[in-house]
Each structure stands twice: as structure tokens, then as C-alpha cells.
Amino acid sequence: MMRAVKNLIASAALLLTVLAPSTNAASLVQITENFGPNPTKVGFYIYVPDVLAAKPAILVNPHWCHGTASAAYAGSQYATLAAKYGYIVIYPNSPNAADQCWDLSSSQTLTHDGGGDSQGIVSMVKWTIAKYNADASRVFVTGVSSGGMMTNVLIGSYPDVFAAGSAWAGVPFGCYAAPGNNSGVYGYWNSQCASGNVTHTPAEWKAIVQAAYPGYRGWRPKMQTFHGTSDETVNYVNFGEQVKEWTAVLGLSQTPVSTTLNTPLSGWTKTSYGPSGWFEAYSAAGVTHNIQVQADTVVAFFQLSCSAGCFSWGQGSPSGAVPPVSPLTTSTRLTTSIPVAISTTKISTSTASSTHSAVTATTTPATTVQSLYGQCGGIGYAGPTACAAAKCSSYNAYYSQCVPTAV
């Protein structure tokens, strides 16, 4: 762990040397002071541009599996756009040294103020609002893969903190919940969910999200999701499940009000739901898990380039009506943790072992070679164990994945 941290600092320092533009002294900085409840010890990195907007918005950008805060910083345009528009970017760093995937499986992370990685990330948001007089009603989250899954988790567990989310190649809130008693089960790789075998009705997904914050009747964030139809790591089924989940939570029809072809890229189809397009979904034809993030589309959805009359928490609602609740202040959000309830509705029945044996019966014969990011091992897995131009990396007893040799 210490060595990993040192390596991270070393690589961050190297990045600065190579990438920092001479006109902007701002860089990625690690916050090591106590910033609030952080039970799983998520690393806190932040990018604050030299010139901030008067009341800056905050963008949270959780990295992908095997990623780091510095890799997310270097590997996307969000910091460059932050320097242009004056918002702040928070780059959390996964504490899960085994594979750097996020905690998407514990009852803690899936419960409002319940603990887990999600609570540590929210503490970063609250610290940043206080420190930089940032706009508590303009906090956004976006990420790819495990970061897209964490986007769904944060939007579900903390609807009072985030104004909107943008999930790329992710899964619905609660889909990764570890089977059985998931209290304290951090970093579980839910291969059933990843392979598209965890499905629910819209009403069931809605109940799963509502169980994260029982009694919450307030305003819900708007949401967009992107997924490649040929995603070999996180099955495309999860795209449709997110559509079901968030339209149900927002009280919208599953039938889109509009469909736009070839946007923002050729072959990508955008569907909008509800009169105000509160939820939108982009299906990328033929695209694999290596989906190319369109930062401009995300920044436009969050209105991060805006300086007055911008989209914010509590503004508008799916039906276009004025929301019934006013934005919570920073102080009212700093409440003590509520007890972590074990909700049986969070645990998918389709993770039962009977489904599991059905899975193994349909996998590819072991003689073939698995492609990059495909599964290559784990309990109940009978597919190819050799990786093409990659190595087979074990995440846990249930899941091994072909990853690039140089990670």
C-alpha cells in the first residue's frame, strides 16, 4: 500500500513535469488532512484551477479498475476544461490495492451516510464546498467502467449531494451488491451483474434505490448513461437495466420522448426520457468496453461552462414542476451516520447458485483465447483462461480478467 502510494506520488510528480502547462501553475494535489468520515480510507486528490468561478461547481471523477486518481487526471479532459471554465475536479483514489476497483458491493457504500467508499467521496465534496466556497447545488459525478458504476452508486446513495451524474460503461445502482449479507463486503467483483445476469423490473430497481436512503422524499438528480453494444466486460444488458432503474426512480415513462441518431458520434443513438429530458441514454453501436468518453457532452449536460442561471440541484424536475424541497445546506448534510440496515431488496435473487451453473454451461470452450478485458478465470467459470496479448489478473476467487501486460 505504502509503495503504491509512493509510486502514485512519483507518477503524479512526473506528470506535472511533463504535462503542466506553463501558463497554469495548478496541478493535481493530494489532501492528507482530516476531511471528514472516510471509513475505507479513500485517497483524496483535487485539481483547483488558478482562476476559479465566483462560486465554483465541483466535478467528481472516480477512476476505472486498475486506474488511479493521477491516471484519471491525465487521461481525461476534465482538468483542462476546469481551467477553462473555473470548476474544481475531485479525483478519488480507490483504497482497494488488489485491483483499484471501487466499493460497489457493500451495504455501507449502498446506504446514505452508511460508510464505504461512497461516504469517503462525499466527505471530499463537503470539505471542498467549505474550503473553496463552492456551489453545493452544482456538484456532479462522472466516470467510466468501475467509475461509471460508482457514479450510479453516488447518485443513488446521495441524491441530496449530487445535481447530476454521467455514467459510462457502468451498471445500475445496487447491481454489484454482494450476495447474502453484504455488510463489510468491499470490492466484490459481481460477475453475475457484469455478465448481464442481474435484471429487475423498474419497480424493483426503484425499491433498491429508495432503500439506500429510506424516508428520503426530496429532489432526485438527473442522469445520463452511455454504453457500447459490444461491451465484452460489462454486458450491454446493464444499459437497459439503468434505463429501467432511473426512469422508475424519476417517475418517467420507459418510452423515450425523442430519439436522435448519430450523436455525438456516428453510430451512437441518444434517447431522451420525460418532458425535460431528465434522463438520457446513449447506445454506442459496435463499441466495446473501451468506449471513448465525450467530455464535451458530459460538460454540456452538467452545464459546467455556464456562469449564470446554470442548472443546479433542486432546479426543475422530470415533470417540469417546481421541486417540493429546497437544497440542503452544507451544515444539514453533515449529519451523523445512520445505522446500516441490511436490506434484502438490495440482494439480487438471480445471484443464486442455480443461475451460476447455468452460466458455466454456456461459456466458450477452454481451447479459445480470451480477448482483452474478457474474463479468464474464477469459481464457476469454464471459459478460456489464456489471454491474447494480455495477462490474466485475478481480482478475487470469482473473477479474473485479461488486462494489458503493462498496467
Ligand X SMILES: *[C@@H]1O[C@H](CO)[C@@H](O)[C@H](O)[C@H]1NC(C)=O
Query: Is residue 196 at the binding interface for ligand X, with CB under 6 A as the rule?
Result: yes
Residue selected from 6, 19, 50, 181 as contacting ligand X according to rule CB under 6 A: 181
User: Which residues lie across from 222 on neighbouring strands?
Assistant: 164
Asked if 183 interacts with ligand X (CB under 6 A), we say: yes
Residue reference for cell 422530470:
318
Closer residue to ligand X (CB): 160 or 245: 245
Contact code string over 270-289 relative to ligand X, x by CB under 6 A: --------------------
Residues between 58 and 87 that touch ligand X (CB under 6 A): none
Q: Which is nearer to ligand X, 148 or 196 (CB)?
A: 196
CB of 116 to ligand X, least distance (A): 13
CA 371 to each of CA 20, 318, 393, 403: distance values in angstroms, whole numbers, following the listed order = 35, 41, 13, 9
Closer CB to ligand X, 325 or 358, in the complex: 358
Q: Does 190 sit near ligand X (CB under 6 A)?
A: no
If DSSP states are collapsed to H, E and C, what string results for 77-140? CHHHHHHHHCCEEEEEECCCCCCCCCCCCCCCCCCCCCCHHHHHHHHHHHHHHHHHCCCCCCEE
Which CB contacts under 8 angstroms, 24+ apart, belong to 272-278?
273/243, 273/247, 274/247, 274/250, 274/318, 274/319, 275/318, 275/319, 275/320, 276/316, 276/317, 276/318, 276/319, 276/320, 278/222, 278/223, 278/250, 278/252, 278/316, 278/317, 278/318
- Whether 305 is catalytic is no
User: Which residue's CB is nearer to ligand X, number 237 or number 299?
Assistant: 237
Instruction: State which of residues 60, 124, 237, 287 lies at the interface with ligand X (CB under 6 A).
Output: 237
Report the distance separating Cα 226 and Cα 301, nearest Å.
13
Question: Locate cell 451523523: which residue?
Answer: 336
Q: Which of 105, 235, 247, 348 binds ligand X (CB under 6 A)?
A: 235
Q: Of the two residues 30 and 229, which places its CB atom closer to ligand X in the complex? A: 229
Q: How far is the CB of 322 from ligand X (least distance, A)?
A: 41
Q: Which residues contact 264 (CB under 8 A, 6 or more apart)?
A: 294, 296, 297
Task: Name the minimum Å distance from CB 189 to ligand X.
Answer: 13
Least Cβ distance, residue 36 to ligand X (angstroms)? 24
| Euclidean distance between CA atoms 145 and 189, whole angstroms | 12
Least distance to ligand X, CB of residue 394, Å = 17
371 touching ligand X, by CB under 6 A: no
If one asks whether residue 203 binds ligand X (CB under 6 A), the answer comes out as no
Q: How far is the CB of 240 from ligand X (least distance, A)?
A: 10
CA distances from 276 to 209, 272, 280, 354 (A): 22, 8, 10, 42
Query: Would you call 240 helix, strand, or coil by DSSP?
Result: helix
Binding mask 338-367 for ligand X (x = CB under 6 A): ----x----------------x--xx----
Cis peptide before 21 (omega within 30 of 0): no
Nearer to ligand X, 57 or 193 (CB): 193
**Per annotation, catalytic residue among 105, 107, 145, 348:** 145
Residue closest to ligand X (Cβ): 196
| Residue 344 beta carbon to ligand X: minimum distance, rounded to whole angstroms | 10
Rounded CA-CA distance 144/225 in Å is 10
Give me the residues that bind ligand X (CB under 6 A), please: 181, 183-184, 195-197, 235, 237, 342, 359, 362-363
Q: Known catalytic residues? A: 145
